[in-house]
Amino acid sequence: MTSSIDLLEDAFTRIRDTVRRAAGGLEPDQLSARIDPEANSIAWLVWHLTRVQDDHIAGVAGTPQRWTDGGWEQRFGLPFAPDATGYAQSAAEVGQVAGPGVTAENLVGYHEDVYTATVAYLHSLDDGDLDRVVDTSWNPPVTLAVRLVSVLSDDLQHAGQASFVRGVLERRA
């Protein structure tokens, strides 16, 4: 029988694979292109979904975020605070996820780094750990299982959006 941890790993692997397909091989101008002035770019979508995963997994694991600890913040050179994840950013801020450091190599590399940390954390767990309360600021309190599914849900949606944007851009070319 497959454990819950195996299922979670499979889901995070699917996100990683979708990120690779959505962003891999694109030029910076393609990554930052927006199909509408208010729309999210592939660069922002992949950066945001990876930042959320990094932030939330590091939070429950009690480890430093790869964004700062792995040097990705410096490589990207974005004009945001180190703890920014993209949550509630404006259309103008979405447009700032561009520039020399916002490359397919960095986007996919950062995601791979976060994926590796996520899988290592998952392998430190067993099914019994999933009932642990990780956030008491909600009613009901959030368990580890709920937090992980929340990250998966958000990331899968954004990875799918990035894939959609790539498809639209390829059809326009």
Q: What is the pLDDT along the chain (173 residues), one digit of tens a residue?
A: 479 999 999 999 999 999 999 999 999 999 999 999 999 999 999 999 999 999 999 999 999 999 999 999 999 999 999 999 999 999 999 999 999 999 999 999 999 999 999 999 999 999 999 999 999 999 999 999 999 999 999 999 999 999 999 999 999 87
Could you give the angle at which helices 104-122 and 4-23 cross, rounded to 10 degrees?
180
The pLDDT value recorded for residue 171 is 93
Residue 133: phi and psi, rounded to 5, are: -75, 125
* SS3 at position 6: helix
Residue 143: phi and psi, rounded to 5, are: -90, 165
Rounded CA-CA distance 141/86 in Å is: 24
pTM above 0.75, yes or no: yes
Residue 4 tokens, joined: 């819950």
What is the end-to-end Cα distance of the chain in Å, rounded? 47
Asked if residues 90 and 52 have their Cβ atoms less than 8 Å apart, the reply is no
The pLDDT value recorded for residue 173 is 77
The pLDDT value recorded for residue 2 is 74
Residue 96 CA neighbour count, 13 Å, CB half: 12
Could you give the angle at which helices 42-61 and 144-172 cross, rounded to 10 degrees?
170
